[in-house]
Amino acid sequence: MKKILIINGPNLNLLGNREKNHYGDSSLQKIKSLCETVCEKNNLECDFFQSNNEGDIIDKIHSVDKGYDGIIINPAAYTHTSVAILDALKANAKPKIEIHISNIYAREEYRRKSITSEAVNGLICGFGENSYTLGIEAISKLIYK
């Protein structure tokens, strides 16, 4: 079976308590369980990772060459700042989808630019926790095309 890595950036460990008006009630643990269920339905195995540190996220992206067939990433605030994460994503040839819980294009000016999305096949945002499930369906189509 094909396997994907779902990467979550800074402060997403606080989901469920953090700015519920933007990010909803679901904890990251609940989103992880939802992703596992949807991955199973799409014939995918998944590993779920969260870090508040840019370097750890970059190391994790480097690990995708061995053992994974694609990446779903919510880079969180690094979306808007990190050329280093962009470069790590660019160095990886596997299918990649960027996701966001909120619609970053309908929020503050500084969130309306995604630096990291230049390196991905596509971007899904604004569907709450379903941005993750839509991302899984999208990457499954890219992996099993």
74 binds ligand DQA (CB under 6 A): yes
Which is the catalytic residue, given 22, 62, 68, 100? 100
Which is the catalytic residue, given 23, 68, 78, 132? 23
89 binds ligand DQA (CB under 6 A): no
Taking alpha carbons only, the member of 108, 109, 57 closest to residue 86 is 57
SS3 sequence of 24-79: CCCCHHHHHHHHHHHHHHCCEEEEEEECCCHHHHHHHHHHHHCCCCEEEEECHHHH
- Pick between residue 11 and residue 121 the one whose CB is nearest to ligand DQA: 11
Choices 29-37, 46-54, 74-82, 136-144; region in contact with ligand DQA by CB under 6 A = 74-82
Cross-strand pairs, 123: 98
State how far the Cα of 82 lies from the Cα of 17, in Å rounded to an integer.
Answer: 25
- In angstroms, give the least distance from the CB of 34 to ligand DQA: 15
State how far the Cα of 134 lies from the Cα of 61, in Å rounded to an integer.
Answer: 21
Binding mask 14-53 toward ligand DQA (x if CB under 6 A, else -) reads: ----------------------------------------
Point out which residues bind ligand DQA (CB under 6 A): 11, 74, 76-77, 79, 100-102, 104, 111
